[in-house]
C-alpha cells in the first residue's frame, strides 16, 4: 500500500512539475529560435497573469528595444554609406576624365581643386563618424581642465571671421570674462565652431550672426543667434538627429552631412549641459548652450587631478 502511495505521489509530482516548467521550456525554445534577422517575432505569452507572463512581457519589451536599435543602426549605416559614396563618385569621375586623354594644365588644376574639396569632405565625414562611434561606446577622451569660455568664444569667432566676411555676414561677439567651466577646451571650441558654421551657412548675405556669453546664476549661457533662413517647426524636433537635414538646407550647395548638431549635443551633454533652439522661418535661429559653471570655491577642492583618467 505504502509503495503504491509513493508511486502515485512521484507520478503526481512529475506531472505537476512538468506542467509548471512547460511554459518555461516554451519560452526557452522560442527565444532560442529568434535570431538577429527576425527580431520582429515576439513570445506572445503576455496574457498569462503570473510570473511566466511577466517574464514573457519583459522579454518581448527587450526584443522591441533590440529591434528598434537594429533598425536605427541599419538606417545609420545606409545614410553613412550614401554620404561617403557621393564624394568618392566625384573624385572617381574627375580621375577618369583626367586619365582619358591629355589635358591642359588649367584643366588639371581645376579637377585637382575639386578633388581636394571632396577629399576634405570625406575626411571631415570620417572624423565625425569616428567621434560619434567613440561617443556611443563611451571611449571618447574628454579633458577635464578649467576652461575660460570667453577665450573659447573669441577663438571660435576669429576662426570663422573669414567665412563670415566671404558670405557678407556681420559677426558680433558679446562676451563676459572669467566664466570658467570644467571640461575640454578643444571640444568646446569645436562645438561652438559647428554652431557658427551653421549660422553662417544658413544666413543669406547682409545678415548677422551674434555670439553672446553671460552667466546670470550658476550656469553659463552661450548663445549663437542668426538672422538666417530659420527652421520649420516640423524640422526643429529632428535637427539633432544624425544625418538629418531640413529640406531648406538640402537645397543649398553648402552644409555638411547632417552630423554637426548630433556631435554638438553629445559634447554639451558630456559637459553636463543642455542645448535648446528657438527659430522662426525667414527670421532667424538662436541656439542656447547652458553649461554648469566651475565655481571658485570648488576650484580648490576639485582641482583636476592631471593623472586622473579622462572621461
Ligand X SMILES: Nc1ncnc2c1ncn2[C@@H]1O[C@H](COP(=O)(O)OP(=O)(O)O)[C@@H](O)[C@H]1O
Residues making contact with ligand X (CB under 6 A): 198-199, 202, 226, 228-231, 239, 244-246, 249, 255-261, 285
Cβ nearer to Mg ion, comparing 45 with 224: 224
Indicate whether 228 belongs to the interface with Mg ion (CB under 5 A).
Answer: no
Which of positions 108-127 make contact with Mg ion (CB under 5 A)?
none
Cβ nearer to ligand X, comparing 185 with 255: 255
Interacting partner of 200 out of Mg ion, ligand X, none (Cβ under 5 to 8 A depending on kind): none
Interacting partner of 196 out of Mg ion, ligand X, none (Cβ under 5 to 8 A depending on kind): none
The CB-of-255 to ligand X minimum distance in angstroms stands at: 4
Neighbouring C-alpha atoms within 13 Å toward the C-beta of 170: 6
The CB-of-233 to ligand X minimum distance in angstroms stands at: 12
Cell of 193: 565652431
- Quick one: the chain helix, strand, coil %, rounded to 5? 55, 15, 30
CA-CA-CA-CA torsion sign (12, 16, 17, 18) = positive
Cell of 251: 537645397
The CB-of-224 to Mg ion minimum distance in angstroms stands at: 12
Interacting partner of 242 out of ligand X, Mg ion, none (Cβ under 5 to 8 A depending on kind): none
The one-character DSSP state at 229 is: S
The one-character DSSP state at 265 is: H
According to CB under 5 A, which one of 167, 228, 256, 284 is a site residue for Mg ion?
Answer: 256
Task: Look at residue 39 and give its three-state secondary structure.
Answer: coil
Interacting partner of 228 out of Mg ion, ligand X, none (Cβ under 5 to 8 A depending on kind): ligand X
Q: Tell me which H or E stretch contains 55.
A: helix 51-100
The CB-of-235 to ligand X minimum distance in angstroms stands at: 6
Neighbouring C-alpha atoms within 13 Å toward the C-beta of 165: 6
Which of positions 188-207 make contact with Mg ion (CB under 5 A)?
198
What order of strands is seen across the sheet that includes strand 170-174? Answer: 170-174, 208-214, 219-226, 284-292, 274-280
The CB-of-292 to ligand X minimum distance in angstroms stands at: 24
Cell of 86: 557621393
In the chain, what's the furthest Cα-to-Cα distance?
110
Q: How far apart are CA 77 and CA 153, in angstroms?
A: 34
Indicate whether 284 belongs to the interface with Mg ion (CB under 5 A).
Answer: no
Cβ nearer to ligand X, comparing 140 with 225: 225
According to CB under 5 A, which one of 23, 230, 260, 284 is a site residue for Mg ion?
Answer: 260
The CB-of-288 to ligand X minimum distance in angstroms stands at: 12
Q: How far apart are CA 190 and CA 194, in angstroms?
A: 6
The CB-of-244 to Mg ion minimum distance in angstroms stands at: 11
Binding site for Mg ion (CB under 5 A): 198, 256, 260
Amino acid at each position: 500500500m505504502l509503495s503504491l502511495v509513493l508511486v502515485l505521489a512521484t507520478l503526481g509530482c512529475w506531472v505537476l512539475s512538468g506542467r509548471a516548467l512547460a511554459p518555461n521550456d516554451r519560452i526557452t525554445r522560442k527565444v532560442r529560435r529568434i535570431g538577429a534577422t527576425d527580431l520582429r517575432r515576439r513570445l506572445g505569452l503576455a496574457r498569462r497573469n503570473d510570473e511566466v507572463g511577466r517574464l514573457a512581457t519583459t522579454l518581448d519589451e527587450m526584443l522591441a528595444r533590440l529591434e528598434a536599435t537594429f533598425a536605427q543602426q541599419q538606417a545609420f549605416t545606409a545614410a553613412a554609406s550614401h554620404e561617403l559614396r557621393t564624394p568618392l563618385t566625384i573624385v572617381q569621375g574627375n580621375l577618369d576624365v583626367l586619365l582619358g586623354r591629355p589635358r591642359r594644365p588649367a584643366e588639371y588644376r581645376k579637377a585637382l581643386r575639386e578633388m581636394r574639396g571632396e577629399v576634405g569632405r570625406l575626411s571631415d565625414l570620417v572624423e565625425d563618424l569616428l567621434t560619434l562611434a567613440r561617443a556611443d561606446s563611451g571611449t571618447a577622451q574628454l579633458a577635464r581642465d578649467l576652461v575660460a569660455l570667453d577665450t573659447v568664444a573669441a577663438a571660435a569667432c576669429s576662426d570663422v571671421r573669414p567665412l563670415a566676411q566671404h558670405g557678407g555676414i556681420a559677426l558680433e561677439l558679446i562676451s563676459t570674462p572669467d566664466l570658467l567651466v570644467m571640461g575640454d577646451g578643444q571640444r568646446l571650441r569645436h562645438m561652438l565652431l559647428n554652431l557658427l558654421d551653421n549660422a553662417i551657412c544658413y544666413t543669406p548675405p547682409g545678415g548677422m550672426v551674434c555670439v553672446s556669453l553671460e552667466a546670470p546664476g550658476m550656469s553659463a549661457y552661450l548663445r549663437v543667434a542668426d538672422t538666417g533662413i530659420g527652421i520649420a517647426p516640423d524640422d526643429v524636433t529632428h535637427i539633432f538627429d544624425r544625418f538629418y537635414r531640413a529640406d531648406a538646407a538640402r537645397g543649398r550647395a553648402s552644409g555638411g552631412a547632417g552630423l554637426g548638431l548630433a556631435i554638438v549635443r553629445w559634447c554639451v551633454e558630456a559637459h553636463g549641459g543642455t542645448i535648446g533652439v528657438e527659430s522662426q522661418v525667414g527670421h532667424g535661429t538662436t541656439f542656447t548652450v547652458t553649461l554648469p559653471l566651475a565655481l571658485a570655491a570648488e576650484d580648490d577642492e576639485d582641482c583636476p587631478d592631471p593623472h586622473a583618467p579622462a572621461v
